[in-house]
A and B are shown apart, each in its own frame.
Chain A
């Protein structure tokens, strides 16, 4: 068996005296979509932030293609191709759409490839090209999410983590976002997806993890999770 692209092993993390993650284990293979679902406050965002090394893990390991990321700075993690679209989009509100996209390519110097990736973003979200000189803060929530995804694509990720990309977005745009995610995956992108919208997320995924208060409660193939009564009652509103 080949090395998984992302391996999270026994990850512990928290804030000050608060312990949030108590032994998270996740595996994402190259080319897959894997989703992580769980109720509010379970620690999903903390998991992504600890993988990105924004929150410094207290114990355990995070490996990208077999290499540990522990001890690296967040920008060094990005440089290795593990990129996150953060919860709440966090676009740079007082910069234009184009400037935001350029920030995504901050570490890159390959101008031709950057221009190609920019065209790819325009293709994925044509509305971004129309809005390219507009300040990001004046975009709608859904458009900001497209921009946040586009911005992360500009850093050429090997693995893209997304934290609740459908949160607070008009339903029509939610479909757009999920279409984009599935298209990215078809084009070969590996995606680790955190979602409240469990049905749609699991619908796209091969495997899923269900998180409860700092631990992985259970996991398995997405199709099995969709049929699991525990998932149905807690996350699918059945």
Chain B
């Protein structure tokens, strides 16, 4: 018999993961919207955000802080990783992309792939540091436990369907961020400047908009969202590793393309879709097929509808 409760449970898991994917996807889509670059390093910036958060937790000894203190700890990790990833992403643009603005798109792309490898190896090195949280650096490449600072109780009490504080945290972090980002893009001077640069960088510079600074700000914001996502992801999944950016990157990139690359609502819609597809595949097929399915979705959209669900030939960028 078909078990309805299992389906609901998987939907909850799918939506939670989907919100995390969406937050990462926004970073891809914002950068693509403004300079038409697929920032391959974005997933790895996200991964480094998780390492930063775990390091912060270890250095400050958050595990022994008690419940109230741990809430502060979670907030500190969120802010810390967001700033760290924002600054890192901004630096990638400054060091590895800005000089290539007038070069071919291919040169930029190759540079981004290089940055991805560099970041991933940085993660490998980081995981080998002799810190307790990294198991003393015994095996740099091994997955690291990320302590569950958020209690694993069921908020619905004895019900079969579980909604944990970690689920709640996902939504409590991602939804306000998405709302804030939308307001920022639509209502503020910086947001208008970002849209102007996305539409026509030369015209934007002729309006006095400092184009490179606006692009830098876009990288910072996209990276910071990845940083928030990394903390939420780590608290939700309780394990991190230097290769996690690759899978998260694939999911998020597929989500961005599925929703229509360059579109913010598209990234959210795509993220939720991919999250649910993953959960369904894990449950009703087998986990080992899940990545394959996501990859197939990516290939199919690229072949049949490269502009994605919400994208059109006249797509709304940023």
B204-247 contact mask (Cβ, 8 Å, vs A): 1 or 0: 11111111100000000000000000000000000000000000
B260 to chain A, nearest CB (A): 14
Given contacts A75-B211, A94-B316, A107-B208, contact A102 B192 (CB under 8 A): yes
Stretch at the interface among A22-30, A83-91, A181-189, A214-222: A83-91
- Docked pose: A92 CA to B194 CA in angstroms: 12
- A38 touches B (CB below 8 Å): no
- B202 touches A (CB below 8 Å): yes
Given contacts A94-B316, A106-B189, contact A74 B196 (CB under 8 A): no
- B193 touches A (CB below 8 Å): yes
Given contacts A75-B209, A94-B316, A155-B207, contact A103 B196 (CB under 8 A): yes
B196 to chain A, nearest CB (A): 5
A159 to chain B, nearest CB (A): 13
| Chain A neighbourhood of B196, CB < 8 A | 92, 95, 103
- B5 touches A (CB below 8 Å): no
Q: Which of A78, A79, A83: most chain B CB closer than 10 A? A: A78
- B199 touches A (CB below 8 Å): yes
| Chain A neighbourhood of B195, CB < 8 A | 92, 94-95
| Chain B neighbourhood of A84, CB < 8 A | 206
Assess whether B316 is in contact with A92, with CB atoms less than 8 Å apart: no
Assess whether B207 is in contact with A106, with CB atoms less than 8 Å apart: yes
- B200 touches A (CB below 8 Å): yes
Assess whether B202 is in contact with A90, with CB atoms less than 8 Å apart: yes
- Docked pose: A73 CA to B317 CA in angstroms: 25
B304 to chain A, nearest CB (A): 25
A93-114 contact mask (Cβ, 8 Å, vs B): 1 or 0: 1110001001110110000000
Assess whether A90 is in contact with B200, with CB atoms less than 8 Å apart: yes
- A151 touches B (CB below 8 Å): yes
- Docked pose: A78 CA to B209 CA in angstroms: 9
B101 to chain A, nearest CB (A): 13
- Docked pose: A52 CA to B210 CA in angstroms: 13
| Chain B neighbourhood of A52, CB < 8 A | 206
A43 to chain B, nearest CB (A): 17
Assess whether B204 is in contact with A103, with CB atoms less than 8 Å apart: yes
- B96 touches A (CB below 8 Å): no
- Docked pose: A84 CA to B203 CA in angstroms: 9
Q: Which of these, A74, A93, A99, contacts B192 with CB under 8 Å?
A: A99
B40 to chain A, nearest CB (A): 27
- Docked pose: A152 CA to B206 CA in angstroms: 8
- A54 touches B (CB below 8 Å): yes
Given contacts A75-B211, A94-B316, contact A103 B202 (CB under 8 A): no
Interface size bucket, B side?
20 to 34
Given contacts A90-B202, A94-B199, contact A103 B192 (CB under 8 A): yes
Closest chain A residue to B315 by CB distance?
A: A94
Assess whether B193 is in contact with A103, with CB atoms less than 8 Å apart: yes
- Docked pose: A137 CA to B195 CA in angstroms: 14
B188 to chain A, nearest CB (A): 11
- Docked pose: A73 CA to B101 CA in angstroms: 15
| Chain B neighbourhood of A94, CB < 8 A | 195, 199, 314, 316-317
A71 to chain B, nearest CB (A): 15
Assess whether B208 is in contact with A86, with CB atoms less than 8 Å apart: no
| Chain B neighbourhood of A95, CB < 8 A | 192, 195-196, 199
Closest chain B residue to A53 by CB distance?
A: B205
- Docked pose: A151 CA to B206 CA in angstroms: 10
Assess whether B205 is in contact with A54, with CB atoms less than 8 Å apart: yes
B204 to chain A, nearest CB (A): 7
Assess whether B206 is in contact with A78, with CB atoms less than 8 Å apart: yes
Assess whether A86 is in contact with B207, with CB atoms less than 8 Å apart: no
B171-210 contact mask (Cβ, 8 Å, vs A): 1 or 0: 0000000000000000001001101100110111111111
B201 to chain A, nearest CB (A): 10
- Docked pose: A73 CA to B200 CA in angstroms: 16
Q: Which 7 residue pairs spanning A and B have beta carbons closest together?
A: A78-B208, A90-B203, A74-B205, A107-B208, A75-B210, A75-B208, A103-B207
A residues neighboring B (CB under 8 Å): 52, 54, 73-75, 78-79, 83-84, 86, 90-95, 99, 102-104, 106-107, 137, 151-152, 155
Q: List 8 A-B pairs, Cβ < 8 Å.
A: A73-B205, A75-B205, A79-B208, A95-B195, A95-B199, A103-B193, A106-B192, A152-B207
